[in-house]
Amino acid sequence: MRVVHSPLHLLHEPPFEVFSGHPGPAWEVTARAESIRAALAADPAFALELPAEHGLELALAVHEPGLVRFLAEAWPAWQASGERPAALMADTFPYPRSRSARRRPPEPRAPGGRVGYWSFDTTSPITAGTWIAARAALDVALTAADAVLAGDVVAYGLCRPPGHHAGRSTFGGYCYLNNAAVVVARLLGAGAGRIGILDLDFHHGNGTQEIFWERGDVPYASLHGDPHRVYPYFSGHADETGEGAGAGATFNQPLPAGTDDTAYLTALDRSLDWLAGRHDGIVVVSLGIDTYGLDPICDFALTTPAYHEAGRRVAATGARLVILQEGGYHVAHLGENVRLWLRGAAGLTPDAAARPGDGG
Ligand code: Q9C
Ligand code: ZN
């Protein structure tokens, strides 16, 4: 299986995040992607490669161009303003329920105002290398998509930063550009017909859902922690099913704390049944491993063998898969869990060492 990764992710090292009133160390750290890269590099079933540059045309189609422009300019503009903090992060957001501000306000000039205008939370700092890393993650995703368009049955993009929380006009949740959504745009443009999205991250993919909310040709299925309980709080409920041409093309399964392997795999089967027949052969997988029982910021109870079984079941649908990395914060076990998911998706046994003939 081709594995696309870029060392440019190392330039994005958020120094902190603010969540539930706690200023704390960032969870979305460089060591995450390095854990995955190391695990895959040690397994001959995977061939690591660098991404090809793809430019920003598709990102500008999926996202509001002002967001892309802001992300590109934010750090230099912040530096030029004379501010010198470790990272640029929003503290003030537009509030659309204000009766006197129902029309969209203009984008302010101040960098601190601009960042609130284009984001929705306080967990996604912009640092000196954030834009370069976000662009590289997009190139990673698009290069994996190219492999599938060229005939590979499955390809994996080791995206960092992740993407599924980024909406058309907003970044947040450690995500800046929506890698999965831009890949879907690429596949649609290549004439691949209806593209399925299977979002397996612990958190609801609010950005991806929003981008395809009114699209009937991009069915979106997600299983995730119930937003009544967990981030991103404001989307992911079961009664969100799409609108307009997209009516019925969104399928959310909010799940309880402690969801274990059996319950998760049952919900996964429901998502796969729902997706079957709604796409024309290619499914983009937003692969979050923050469903892991030991994940430090999430509350599911999955164990390592479930990841191999999940990958196996997704691939057994016969869909061709563009698999993109999203979350997963238990760094020590992250690489192994991803490796096993991908081995399952490749139709390989869990353990390379035990069955040396399986590689390739
Ligand atoms: N202490 C992704 O998994 N912060 N984003 C929660 C809990 C927001 C998750 C912190 C979680 C964002 C891609
Ligand atoms: Zn997540």
From CA 337, how far away is CA 342, in angstroms rounded? 9
Instruction: Using a pLDDT cut of 70, give the percent of the chain over it.
Output: 97
Using pLDDT thresholds of 50, 70 and 90, give the confidence band for residue 101.
Answer: low
pLDDT of residue 162: 99
Q: Given this model, what pLDDT does residue 351 score?
A: 83
Residue nearest to atom 1 of ligand 1 (CA): 297
Q: Which atom of ligand 1 is nearest to the CA of 19?
A: 10
Alpha-carbon torsion, ordered 235, 297, 202, 268, to 10 deg = -140
Which pair of tokens denotes residue 332?
A: 């020590």
Separation CA 234–CA 228 (nearest Å):
8
Predicted TM-score (pTM) of the model is 0.96
Residue type, 162: P
Active site residues per annotation: 165
Q: Which residues line ligand 1 (CB under 6 A)?
A: 19, 123, 162, 165, 173-175, 201, 203, 231, 288, 290, 297, 326-327
Question: What's the pLDDT tens digit per position in 147-198?
Answer: 999 999 999 999 999 999 999 999 999 999 999 999 999 999 999 999 999 9
Mean pLDDT of 109-138: 96
The residue count of the chain comes to 360
Q: Which residues contact 83 (CB under 8 A, 6 or more apart)?
A: 111, 112
User: What does the pLDDT average to over 117-134?
Assistant: 96
The residues pairing with 250 across neighbouring beta strands, listed in sequence order, are 220
d(CA 118, CA 276): 35
Nearest CA to ligand 1 atom 9: 173
Q: What is the dihedral of CA 202, 203, 205, 206, to 10 degrees?
A: 170
Backbone angles phi, psi at 79, to 5 degrees: -65, -40
